[in-house]
Amino acid sequence: MYVYRYILKALDFIYFARKTLVGDITPPYIHATAINAAIQSALNLRKDDRYVTFNEPNYNTLFSNSFFYATPARPSNVSYINQGITANQEKYVFSVEKGEILRFQPIKIFTPLSEWKGFIISTKELNFKKLKIRLGRGKSLAEITVSLKGVAEDIKSGRIALSHTGDPLNMKIVRGIMINTMPYPLVENPTIEGSYIEIDNLFIGLPHFLL
């Protein structure tokens, strides 16, 4: 398995939030589904880009033929801008329907140069070092930079604390700190029971579709 560390940098304002009664919640983490689908789209490996736009998981199709897996994007230097908008349902371009009472709603949007980090595990060598991808409801531009950590020969199994944010839909997590993200929680400092690889004292969980 090839193991890469990635740095994700926003080149534009990125809006990932879902509406609540008190405004839009924009968690600092970005789901693995959004990252993986964005990379697949940039590499022309998929045509359906709704995962990039709405961050909604569909693992039956998203990872069915994938040779790599990017872990959730952990914030390293993230900043927001606060804005107020008039909102109609969950569209990115907001309008008011005929007869609708004007609604005001605060939102938080990631600013350009915000950064996240994570890992990519691949069954073959990646053919890029930098890649422009699209994220968020407005398909905002971001750049992902990868650097090879090494090649792991052995796959281990057991209970281990991982060196990255965990996605409970990809692995069996038995302990950790739940991160309230949409559409489902992620887990920070996760301990898993399952398959993993070790490289440079880093422990990376393996999703089932790469085994």
Give me the pLDDT at residue 166, please: 96
Domain of residue 61: give its range.
2-152
Residue closest to 93 by CA, chosen among 101, 85, 105? 85
Residue closest to 64 by CA, chosen among 38, 45, 43? 45
Give me the pLDDT at residue 202, please: 95
Q: Could you tell me which residues come within 8 angstroms of residue 44 by beta carbon, excluding any fewer than 6 positions away?
A: none
20 belongs to a structural domain: yes
Q: Could you tell me which residues come within 8 angstroms of residue 186 by beta carbon, excluding any fewer than 6 positions away?
A: 29, 31, 72, 165, 166, 167, 168, 178, 179
Give me the pLDDT at residue 20, please: 58
172 belongs to a structural domain: no
Task: Convert the pLDDT of each residue in 58-103 to its tens digit.
Answer: 556 677 678 999 999 999 999 988 776 655 544 444 445 555 555 5
Number of domains in the chain: 1
Give me the pLDDT at residue 53, please: 44
How far is Cα 194 from Cα 172, in angstroms, rounded to an integer? 7
- CB atoms near residue 206 (< 10 Å): 21
How far is Cα 9 from Cα 88, in angstroms, rounded to an integer? 29
Stretches in the chain below the pLDDT threshold 50: 51-55, 57, 89-95
Give me the pLDDT at residue 91, please: 47
48 belongs to a structural domain: yes
142 belongs to a structural domain: yes
DSSP three-state, residue 64: coil
User: pTM (2 decimals)?
Assistant: 0.83
95 belongs to a structural domain: yes
Judged on CB neighbours under 10 Å (0-12, 13-18, 19+), 121 is: buried
Phi, psi of 156 (to 5 degrees): -105, 165
Strands (E), 111-139: 115-122, 130-135
Give me the pLDDT at residue 137, please: 77
94 belongs to a structural domain: yes
